[in-house]
């Protein structure tokens, strides 16, 4: 049996490893990732500013749980209302699996007296 073997040329360089990326390629990548990076950055920055505002202008009041619910594989959540100067403010947040809250329960709310929209429930 006479088998012919193909000869492999080892002198050819792989085009994949030697590919250089142009500025245009980097700009395309940047334009594709910006729609993901910008909202995440804004959300992170906003939550940090809200936390700082609460810490700087901290005040406490009582609120009432208005709704509890659970999202499969994500956890428990609750909504609450509280009143400052005859105006009702709302908030919501996650709840640890160990914690148990019911609609109508009274909870402590920590908020910014400069902007009560910035608030969180203190249920520890």
pLDDT tens per residue, range 71-109: 888 889 999 999 999 999 999 999 987 888 999 999 999
Please state the domain extents for the chain: 57-122
Please tell me which residue, 96 or 2, carries the higher pLDDT value.
96
pLDDT tens per residue, range 111-120: 999 999 999 9
pTM flag (> 0.75): no
On whether the CB atoms of residues 107 and 65 are closer than 8 A, the answer is yes
């Amino acid at each position: 049996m006479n088998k012919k073997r193909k000869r492999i040329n080892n002198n050819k360089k792989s085009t994949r490893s030697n590919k250089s990326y142009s500025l245009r390629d980097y700009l395309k990548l940047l334009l594709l990732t910006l729609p993901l990076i910008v909202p995440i950055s804004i959300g992170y920055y906003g939550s940090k500013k809200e936390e700082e505002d609460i810490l700087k202008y901290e005040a406490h009041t009582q609120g009432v749980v208005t709704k509890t619910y659970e999202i499969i594989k994500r956890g428990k959540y609750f909504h609450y209302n509280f009143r400052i100067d005859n105006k009702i403010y709302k908030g919501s947040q996650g709840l640890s699996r160990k914690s148990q809250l019911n609609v109508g329960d009274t909870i402590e709310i920590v908020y910014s007296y400069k902007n009560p929209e910035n608030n969180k429930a203190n249920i520890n």
